[in-house]
Amino acid sequence: MAEITPEELNLLIEQTYKVENEFNELKSSYSHLQDTIEKVVEFLPNAIWILNSDNSVFLQNSHARKLYKLLKELEYRDEDYEIEFEGRSYLVKSSSYKDKIMLSVTDITDQKRKENLATMGQMAAHLSHEIRNPIGSISLLSSALKKKVIPQNVPIVEEIQKSVARIDRIIKATLMFSKGVVAKKEQFLWSELKESIDMSIKYYDYSKEIEFSFPQEDFMLNADKDLLEMLFSNLIINAVDAIEADENDDGKIEIKHFCDKREHIFQIFDTGVAIENKDELFEAFRSTKIKGNGLGLILSRQIAQAHNGNVSLCDNKTKCFEIKLPF
């Protein structure tokens, strides 16, 4: 075996250092590249998993970590698909490169809900148009019938009129929700609005003894009177239903009125059952009431917003809705 000269040994050492430096540079570049990839993946708004061939996680972002339970339900497919998981809807996309698989999951719950609301709104508007004509005929015929029946049967006709009024209110709410709310403002007194609200309550059917307390002072409003009648009636009828669902034999509904320099403030209190699912309170077609159609509260808020005001829950713990309407 030939001996290595000092010159050859020095050359070998230099080459070794050179290879080691190149390896360290390559390793540093790879680490930098991996760090860049991780930052890009983390920046994406959806959940991302990159899996090895054995389905172990090679890379994932923070959105994916929060949905780690969902990963077990996912599978690689050639086409996009949707999946329901823990009450949410997700769109799943997948792709592969060499021995890696990437899964992308996007939360589309709100989008699906809006699509469903649009479809439900269109169907409801169509049905409302179809129902409106026969309901109008029933209303006219019941008014004529009331004048001709014997006194003992008048309460029966009045029950028919109450039911027709309730259906008519639902039809109006549905059509208004599907078309959008436009306020036609004019000046009128609170006493005029209160008279219309009283009439609306009169036509609503309830069994318990309920005390109504409304503002007695009179003041001027600049708004759409018909829309405000619907707004207040919706909230009062909700309060009536809450009292009907309560264990007590009676209840109270109170409206308080305040003014500041810019707006009227109304607060509606009732002694009925507590509100459930406050987060879903102003969502369309969601209702915990047997009689509810899920449009009363969201339509009330839309009416207030059409007047540049708002409807919300009061800040205190008392069961109370607050209405704000500009002067």
pLDDT digits (tens, 9 = 90+) for 206-240: 888 899 999 989 999 999 888 888 889 889 988 88
How much is the pLDDT for 13?
A: 53
pLDDT digits (tens, 9 = 90+) for 130-148: 777 787 888 888 888 888 8
How much is the pLDDT for 124?
A: 66
**Positions of the chain with pLDDT lower than 70, given as ranges:** 1-41, 116-121, 124-126, 128-129, 170, 173-180, 277-295, 316-318
How much is the pLDDT for 275?
A: 76
How much is the pLDDT for 298?
A: 80
Chain position carrying tokens 């990159």: 50
How much is the pLDDT for 199?
A: 82
Q: What is the pTM of this model?
A: 0.55
Q: How many residues does the chain have?
A: 327
Please report the domains of the chain, with CATH numbers, ordered by start residue: 6-108 (3.40.1840.10), 109-180 (1.10.287), 182-327 (3.30.565.10)
The rounded distance, in Å, linking the Cα atoms of 154 and 161 is 11
Average per-residue pLDDT in the chain?
79
- What are the respective helix, strand and coil percentages of the chain, to the nearest 5? 50, 25, 30
The rounded distance, in Å, linking the Cα atoms of 93 and 97 is 14
